[in-house]
Amino acid sequence: MSAEMRQGAAPLPAAPLPPAGEGACGAGGRGGDLSGDGAPLSRPASRATLPREGGRDAPALRPTSRRRSWVGVARPLSPRRRTTLAVLSFLIPLLAWAAFSYVPFLWHPLVEVTEPGDIAWMEPGMRVPKAAFAEEVASARAAGTAEPAGRPANPVYLPAPHEVATAFWTSLTAQPTQRDAIRLPLSLWHSIQIIAFGFLLSSLIGVPLGILCGAQPTLARLTEPVIEFVRYMPAPAFGALMVAILGIYDGPKIAIIVIGTFFQQVLVIANTTRRIEPLLIEAALTLGARNLRLIRRVIVPAMLPQLYRDQRILLGWAWTYLIVAELIGTSSGITFFITQQARYQHFDNVYAAILIIGLVGSITDLALAWLGRRLFPYDRSEA
């Protein structure tokens, strides 16, 4: 073996560097077009054939279609779309109710007797289960007597929409058929008075206390723990105690409304007060505002739009306590009308009274919302 072979192969001479202006950036500056010796260089692999580590080609990267998300940043809807969705929100449950009432094969578990035939215990208008009606028809057919006739019907507690509409108009315009009944408008007005007095008393104490708790940490720490504790106690649980203290008439009903809204009111308003911009309060303190003047001139004006919205929500809570409150002591108001009509199984009148409560509450809230936009035109959330 030669000495050269024993010492190993001689290293290859290094490739000469290309002159300036040539090579990778030569030939008119077309980088990558020509190699150092003038041979054309291959262009970089396309996006679909980029080499991977290990020598394998990467799979083709196809542009993915951008899927639209149905959840994102809330943007205001157009007036036309808002109106359409608002109409559909009422129309959909109404159509479902009409389907259950007018489509015979959808539900209709009973049969309303239209002709009793020779069945002694049947009367026109009576509703009997389908199985019992079929047995009577088979018995009359076997005995050769007159068969009863009927039509599919729902239970009495699910009247059709047209029956409720008729009862709605009748209850507002006609005198009640029962001797001890009172007209629905009078019952409704009595309930509105209970709501008004109860919520007014609750607000007279709850709003100032909520503002003070939100503005003064020491007072908040002193009062809010017990308020948090009491607010979990159901307001109707105080019914018997309120009757013993205030009698059996309207006093305990108003007290239940107060108990049901006062404790929630203090906590909600205190939280609204704490959300005021701290820099605003610090600026007022720097300018010399203190104590009640700070509350009256800075805190209350800053929180007034949100305080107004809080009161709208809390007024709705007061309506939820109405039915239970009016059952305490002597029954009165719209609750007395509902319980009396349910006793006589006039469920069309029951539905009419419930719908009237919803209408009065919705109209009141819409009126308050309209008034809020006029009182606080600078507040964008009221727009």
47 has a pLDDT exceeding 80: no
Note the pLDDT tens digit of each residue in 186-243: 889 999 999 999 999 999 999 999 999 999 999 999 999 999 999 999 898 998 999 9
Buried b or exposed e, range 151-170, using 16+ CB within 10 angstroms: eebbeeeebbbebbeebbeb
Which stretch of 168-177, 185-194, 365-374 has the lowest confidence by average pLDDT? 168-177
28 has a pLDDT exceeding 50: no
1 has a pLDDT exceeding 50: no
Query: What's the CA angle centered on 357, arms 351 and 361, to 5 degrees?
Result: 145
Name which residue leads in pLDDT, 62 or 101: 101
How many residues make up the chain in this entry?
383
Note the pLDDT tens digit of each residue in 75-121: 888 889 999 999 999 999 999 999 999 988 888 999 999 999 888 89
Chain-centre distance for alpha carbon 359 = 17
**pLDDT score, position 200:** 96
* Percent above pLDDT 70 for the chain: 81
Phi, psi of 111 (to 5 degrees): -125, 125
The encoded tokens of residue 79 equal 């007036």
Which stretch of 25-29, 274-278, 283-287 has the lowest confidence by average pLDDT? 25-29
For residue 333, the number of C-alpha atoms closer than 13 Å in the C-beta half-sphere is 26
Name which residue leads in pLDDT, 10 or 379: 379
**pLDDT score, position 62:** 59
| Cβ atoms of residues 255 and 246 within 8 Å | yes
- Positive or negative torsion for Cα 100, 105, 110, 116: positive
